[in-house]
Chains A and B, each alone.
Chain A
Amino acid sequence: MATNWTIDGVRESLVAKKISARELAGEHYKRIAARNPELNAFLALSEDRAYAQANRIDTMVAAGKPLPPLAGVPIAVKDVLSTRGVRTTCGSRILEHYVPPYDATAVERLEAAGAALLGKTNCDEFAMGSSNENSAYGPVLNPEATDRIPGGSSGGSAAAVAAGLAVASLGTDTGGSIRQPGAMCGVPAMMGSYGRVSRYGLIAFASSLDRIGPFANNVRDVATVLQVIAGRDPNDSTSTTAPVPDYRAEIEKPVAGLRIGIPKEYFGEGMDDGVRKKVEAGIEILKKLGCKMVEIQMPHTGYAIAVYYIIATAEASSNLARYDGVRYGLRVNDDSLLSMYRKTRGAGFGPEVKRRIVLGTYVLSAGYYDAYYLKGQKVRALIARDFRDAFLKVDAIVTPTSPVPAFKLGERTDDPLQMYLADIYTVTGSLAGIPGISVPCGKICGKLPVGLQIFGPAFREARVLQLAHAFEQAGGASV
């Protein structure tokens, strides 16, 4: 099997003229042609765009010009991010033929930094899911074990990088949708702080939670991509002016002496034994690196899933009101406007999306708002406070990313609540707005990848990356 490229590897090979950007894009399209029919990681390819960019980079190389940070790097983007002229479906029938007239800011920044956009990756419909089985275009298979799910909702972005079909990719994380598939496919995957990356052009699921972030083959590459996409964008009022540090420089700093919180609530029942052993071995690595382990308590952890499924569904029911058959997407005609709305939405949305619209509309409806939505927002404040209190005592928090490794296709589809509980360790950080990364932490029986999750205080992405990098350098991926 061909090895996976890294961003640094691409750069060195381009500069040394061992390969051209065009050849590199071609090599990745060959890999996609060979493996995508099985894996189903890509929903659309954008060859014209990728080769036009590759040609620009090759001209720069030939002229000896300085190359931008992602020069010639073949990347893939989750299909919830708008791409001008390239079909963007959100994994939904309702947007089956939608072609955005503009680019998401994150996509625009990747291309401005020299990246070649290979295409769009499969995902759970409107990013709602933990296994990628909710895509209207079929599930993605886990490249590490093809009888299993890749995790979700950014399953295609994780699988594409893990299988070497793209050098890096973008996903989105609302309750764990970057970190969990990263863990299950065995690649580093990062969610920056809420407000760190502009969401202009991201098709919204839950606006107080949605974030965009990278998958790559190593932590340095994750840092490189985050560097490019981070920072204020006048088109997104929720993107902050907080300065973006030099992540690639920051990750080299030593981690000895850092205090790491180990919350006991993240090692309780429901956790797979294989995951536990690997994460405990991972913690030993951090100890050897000179980090100080501190046992901490995060008493509201057990309420996070309940809060999440109130807030995320409420926001989704509101955001998805825009799919009404009038301006874009599917329309199912009927003789009145209201029945056209109903039929269009009934035919265009899949089961998980409908379930969440029902739940979200219910928790916001008259008579139930206080009992559910307001209560959820209050407990969300308590969960955020758990993190704030913890970060007074520790510099970072380490947990498993997912309580279980990748499960078999179809194993959990009949029980939505069981599926939701797979996000139990990731939703907390989503609700609190803090940054988190999942970094590979060994494989169960040498086969199923496990992820170690590192949380840091808001806007301390550099510290999270620094720990993840040190962990990776110390052999964390093969504990």
Chain B
Amino acid sequence: MKISREDVVRVAELAYLDLSDTELETYRKQVDEILEYIEKLNELDTTSVEPMAQVLTDDQTADATLREDVEVPCHGAAELLKQAPDPEPPYFRVPKVIER
């Protein structure tokens, strides 16, 4: 077994994801099977291989240098706020974070 129930509980906590008991067990079993499958990567010796962290090579990268950091107006702000579950323009309101 690659992944325990405790591992799934810990991971769900890291991901802020509420999971029912049934979900915990289902995902544990399925993710375990996937991790077993992934084990096959250990057949390969990759000690001298550089990880592929970028898809585009340097000469394909659009911006050899970064753009200027210039302030530009953001026109969508009011419309975006309308999408919020609990807007208090110009803020997003959330449940109380700090106990005093």
The residues of A with any CB-CB pair to B shorter than 8 Å are 98-99, 101-102, 194-195, 208, 232, 234, 237-242, 300, 302-303, 305-307, 309-310, 317, 321, 324-331, 333-338, 340-343, 345-347, 349, 351, 354-355, 357-359, 361-362, 365, 372, 374-382, 384, 416-417, 420, 433, 458-459
A365 to B9, CA, bound (A): 13
Q: With A336-B96, A355-B31, A377-B52 in contact, do A242 and B60 touch (Cβ < 8 Å)?
A: yes
Residue B70 lies at the interface, judged by CB distance under 8 Å to chain A: no
Q: With A101-B79, A342-B17, A417-B37 in contact, do A355 and B95 touch (Cβ < 8 Å)?
A: no
Docked-complex contact B34 and A416, CB < 8 angstroms: yes
Min CB gap B96→A, angstroms = 7
Docked-complex contact A333 and B95, CB < 8 angstroms: yes
Min CB gap A357→B, angstroms = 5
Docked-complex contact A459 and B38, CB < 8 angstroms: no
Contact string against A for B residues 33-71, beta-carbon threshold 8 Å, 1 for contact and 0 otherwise: 111011011101010011111111000111100010000
Docked-complex contact B49 and A459, CB < 8 angstroms: no
The residues of B with any CB-CB pair to A shorter than 8 Å are 3, 7-8, 10-12, 14-19, 23, 26-27, 30-31, 33-35, 37-38, 40-42, 44, 46, 49-56, 60-63, 67, 76, 79-80, 83-86, 92, 94-97
**Which residue of B has the minimal Cβ distance to A342?**
B18
Q: Which residues of B contact A98 (CB under 8 A)?
A: 83
Q: With A345-B16, A355-B31 in contact, do A102 and B76 touch (Cβ < 8 Å)?
A: yes
Q: Which residues of A contact B3 (CB under 8 A)?
A: 362
Docked-complex contact A345 and B46, CB < 8 angstroms: no
**Which residue of A has the minimal Cβ distance to B10?**
A365
A320 to B76, CA, bound (A): 22
Contacts A303-B44, A358-B27, A377-B51 aside, 18 further interface pairs with beta carbons under 8 A come to: A102-B76, A240-B60, A241-B62, A328-B83, A336-B97, A342-B17, A346-B18, A351-B26, A355-B27, A355-B31, A358-B17, A359-B34, A361-B15, A362-B7, A362-B11, A362-B35, A381-B50, A382-B46
Number of A-B contacts (CB under 8 A): 165
Q: With A240-B61, A361-B11, A380-B52 in contact, do A354 and B19 touch (Cβ < 8 Å)?
A: yes
A331 to B40, CA, bound (A): 40
Docked-complex contact B15 and A358, CB < 8 angstroms: yes
A416 to B61, CA, bound (A): 36
Docked-complex contact A381 and B51, CB < 8 angstroms: yes
Q: Which residues of A contact B16 (CB under 8 A)?
A: 321, 324, 338, 341-342, 345
Min CB gap A399→B, angstroms = 21
Residue in B38, B60, B62, B80 whose beta carbon sits within 8 Å of that of A310 in the complex: B38
Docked-complex contact A345 and B17, CB < 8 angstroms: yes
Docked-complex contact A307 and B95, CB < 8 angstroms: no
Docked-complex contact A99 and B83, CB < 8 angstroms: yes
A-B contact pairs, 8 of them (CB 8 A): A240-B61, A303-B41, A306-B41, A310-B38, A329-B85, A341-B16, A346-B18, A351-B23
A125 to B12, CA, bound (A): 19
Docked-complex contact B94 and A306, CB < 8 angstroms: no
Docked-complex contact B34 and A354, CB < 8 angstroms: no
A459 to B44, CA, bound (A): 29
Q: Which residues of A contact B31 (CB under 8 A)?
A: 355, 358-359, 362
Min CB gap B94→A, angstroms = 5
Docked-complex contact B84 and A327, CB < 8 angstroms: yes
Docked-complex contact B18 and A345, CB < 8 angstroms: yes
Q: With A354-B23, A416-B34, A417-B37 in contact, do A381 and B52 touch (Cβ < 8 Å)?
A: yes
Q: With A334-B95, A361-B11, A417-B33 in contact, do A433 and B40 touch (Cβ < 8 Å)?
A: no
Min CB gap A125→B, angstroms = 14
Q: Which residues of A contact B83 (CB under 8 A)?
A: 98-99, 101, 327-329
A305 to B35, CA, bound (A): 12
A420 to B79, CA, bound (A): 39
- The 7 A-B pairs of least Cβ separation, nearest first, read A346-B18, A377-B51, A331-B85, A101-B79, A381-B52, A378-B46, A433-B55
A361 to B3, CA, bound (A): 13
Docked-complex contact B12 and A358, CB < 8 angstroms: yes
